[in-house]
Structures are given as structure tokens and as C-alpha cells.
Chain A
């Protein structure tokens, strides 16, 4: 049983990353109509920036949680201003190709300087150790990752679905021209939205740094699973991405316990099954 709980916890943690990343993708897709292929690379950048802050600037984990999403988010906004905005009105596929190119550049640069091996990032002192829950031993940091990402996800959901700003955002997604006529700066809103989505990816990177090592390719393999998560969930709603993300993490964890051989493929197999039954994905709207 111990092993089962442990795998469930690993599943929940992976689910946190899936949820944060697919949420960011959904936010960006909603406003920019772009599948951000660079999302994995920006997640990796988040982990690296946290590493630099600690080792070069002596800035600890807690500040990193705050600063890293801002730094990487600004980087994202620069990308949007200098490149992505020129794709407005073109076929969606160009956005995919452009962000794929950006991902190659970012990953290639990091691989050049840091090879493929991992750099260690230690767990902050306050979150070291663990608690005995009776049925299992829970490392504090892992519990923290799950709870913190859940809070961030729900906060993002609240921001977009329940606030005035979110209302503008959703309106601009439906009809940018009309929203613009009301005197709202839509291009700036698009830039900020991209920054927000990228910030979420970077935040996931910081959270993941102490668990998985800081590696140039840490985002490259993850992003394809996240794409499968997105296809399963359908990217129709913010809540859909969050729930699908966590659920698939857990299912993956369970597979690792019951049938480890399939743990790499279970998400993709699920995707096939879901698509056969419901081609639009679970919560999806038509593409």
C-alpha cells in the first residue's frame, strides 16, 4: 500500500505541472489563438532562472517564486511584441511553427552552456523533512507543490472567470474589434495575457526545480504529454485544463503502480480512447 500512496503522490505532483502548463496554454490559446510550443522551453527557463538567482544572486526559493514568473513573463512579452504579434490573422499553424523555432533556440542555447546533465536545486529549509500521515510518509515539499499549484490554478480561474479584467479578456477573445471600440487596449491585453501564460509555465519550473533537477531538456519531453493532456481536455475551459491536468497525473501515477510498462504511454493511449469516443475532447469546443 505504501508504494501505491507514493505513486499517487507522484501522480498528483506531475498532475500539478500538467495543470499549470495546460492552464497557461489555454490562457494563451484563448487570446492569441496560438498553441505555444515554446511553453516547455519557458518552463525550463523558469527553473534555470531560479537556479541563477540562488547561485549568483543569493536570492532564495521564496523570492524566486515571486520574481521568476515576472522575469520569464517579461521575456515572453518581448517575444510577443517582437514576433508573435506579426502572426495575427495568419493560419494558426504559423504560430505553432514560430513557437517551435523559439523553443529550439532557447533549448539549444541552454544545452550549449549546461550540457544535458542536471543541476541540483535544494529544497528550502522551511519545507524540508516530512510528516507521517499514519498510512504514509509525506515529504513536506511535495505536499506544498500540490497545494500551492492548486491555489495558483484556482486563482487564475478566478481572475479570468470572475473579475472585470477577466470579463474584458473573454470579450476580447470573442470580438477584439468591438472591445477595442470600447476604448480597451486589446494589443496590450494580448501581450499581458501571453506574459501571464508564460509566467505560469515559469512558476511550474520553479516548483519543479527542487524535485526534478534543472535540465535544459526538462520541458521538451514534458510538453508533448501536456499537449496530449490538452487534446484530452479539449482546452475549452480554464477549469477543464485544471481538472484534466490533475486527473491525468493521478492516472499516470496509478499506472506506474499497477502496470509500470505502460506508464510512459498511458496518457497517449487515453488520448486515443477519448478521441475515438468524443473527437472534440472532454470539455472541448470545435477547433
Chain B
């Protein structure tokens, strides 16, 4: 209303002081306009041509009154607001921030509208995401699941006249439109899409639908943002959903454990393989080297042997016999072969040495050539064959 006195000193912001010339020009323009139109209002005091009357003080009063009346038309539009001026209910002008003047009541009225303020409405909750409004937040999805969704809509005015004149309770309308739009989008989307990867897409689609409807109502509002605060399964099934998420992590864990096992086993196997190869290589070297060693030793002795075969041969034989006989236990029996009367308590004899018995070796070396005594494991067999031969 223009009736409130303008507060000259209280200007918000650091806008330049009001340009009085502008204001005055505005005033005269308005008055001319008013009377340019077939003199619709005959209740303006300017209409009276002052007569040469003796009572000047009445004139003064009238002038004063009209000055006060005119001053009541001054009004301030704050930064971020617009003043919508109505002359006899008809919209004639929309003024910017600053000091303005309108033809005072009852001819013109001004309604201030805040256009820069971002307004917010909340769907599915109030003030805090935890205080849910279930009847707003539970919705059916395309695959006939129910989800619990909270979101906020931010909007600004883009046209103060439309905002004022075209809809009753425009802010309320935004709420209704938001609800219908989001439910339409959710109703056409699959649950998993909404819950996980599709949040952005859902919000964007809802914004689009809302804007379309708002434009159709010519409501003078632009949706600036739709934010999904929360999209989750309803309380009743939350546990099952959490468990499914956990299961996913379990799967990951199991995989990692398997991988860990693999990472343990395979390098070890490689290590073992490397050891095998190294050992084989070592063996190869050893065998070759010892062969070479043996060979060179033999060659040395063979050279000497070639020079004096008989002597060398005998010497070698005797050396061997001496070494063998000096290191072993032995029994010398002088008897003709074939006599079975002889009994040798071999085990007893062995025990005198205080060592565990090993199968003994019998030899019947009859020729000059050193007969090879059988190796222990074969002694018994050879024994028997010999016995048979004897019989």
C-alpha cells in the first residue's frame, strides 16, 4: 500500500540516492497521463482553478493537504523486488528497485513482489530429511515397487505480473505440480534406476515436466533446481536392501580372498620351480665335473699302468686288499668247501663289535684275479646258488 510514509533515510543497499528530478518528472508525467485520459478522475484537487478568494488560508490548507496526499504516493522498492502498479485495478507499470512514486490512493496501488529470492518447497519431508511425510514420500515405481523419496524444489519468479494475477495461491500450486511431476517420473522408472544410477536423470526429467506445467498455467515461475535429498527403499524393507548391498561387498571380499590365495600360491610355485631348475643345473655341473675328475685321475694312473702293467696291477690289488681287510671284521676259515659241519654264529660274532648286524659277505676267492665279492643285498641269493652248485 502506498499509504505508509516513505522513510527517506532508510535505503537498503548502497544504491545511489534517489534522483529527485526523476521522481518529479515521473509525478508530472503521471498527472498528465491521468488527465490526458478524458479526465476520468474529477476528485483531484489540481482540477480546481483557485478563485481569487479572500480566505487564502483555505487554499493553503488545501495545498498542504494535496501535498501530503501526493507525498503518500512515494514508495520504496527494495533491491530484488519489483513494484507492480495497478491503476484502478488495472496493471499499468512494473517498477524497479529504488524510490518511486505512484498516483496516491485510491487511484493507484502498488504491490511489491520479491523476484530475486529463491523459494524452496519440500516434498516428502519438512525442515529436516529425518522428519518424513510418508504420504508424500512413498511412491510406486514402474516395476510396482514402492520407494521412499524426498526432494526439494527451488524456484524463482520470472514474471511478477503473472505471479500475481494468473493463479490463486501460486506457491501452493508449485507444491502440487512438484508432486504430480515427480510421481509421474518415478511411475515411469524402474526402482533400481531411481535408487542407484538414475537420480540425476529423475531430477532433470521432473524439472522438465514441472516447467512445462508451470508455463501452461502462466504462473510466472521458473524452476531453478530439483534436488533429490534422499531416495531409498521403505523402512519395512530397508534391512533386506542393506543385506543385498552387503552381499555385494561379500562377493567382492570373497573374490579378493581367492585372489589373495592365488597371489600366495603362484609365486611360491614359481619359486619352487626355480629351485628345481637351479638344483638340476647344479646336479648337471656336479655330474660332469666329477666325471671329468674321475676321468683325469684314471688317465693319470693309466699312463703309469701302461708302462708297467703287471707290477702296477699287483700293487693296486694288494693295496686294496690291505685297505679292505684292515677296515673290516674278518674270519679266516681253512677248510675244504662242501663241508656243512661248520657252524658260524655270525650274529654272535657281530655283536662282539657291539654294532647292529649287517648281512655278511662270504667270498670264495679262488682265482688270482680278484673276484668281485657280492654286494650285501645280493649275498643271500648268491649264497644259495653257490650251495646248489655244491650239491
Q: Do A and B come from one complex?
A: no
List A residues at the B interface (Cβ < 8 Å): none
List B residues at the A interface (Cβ < 8 Å): none
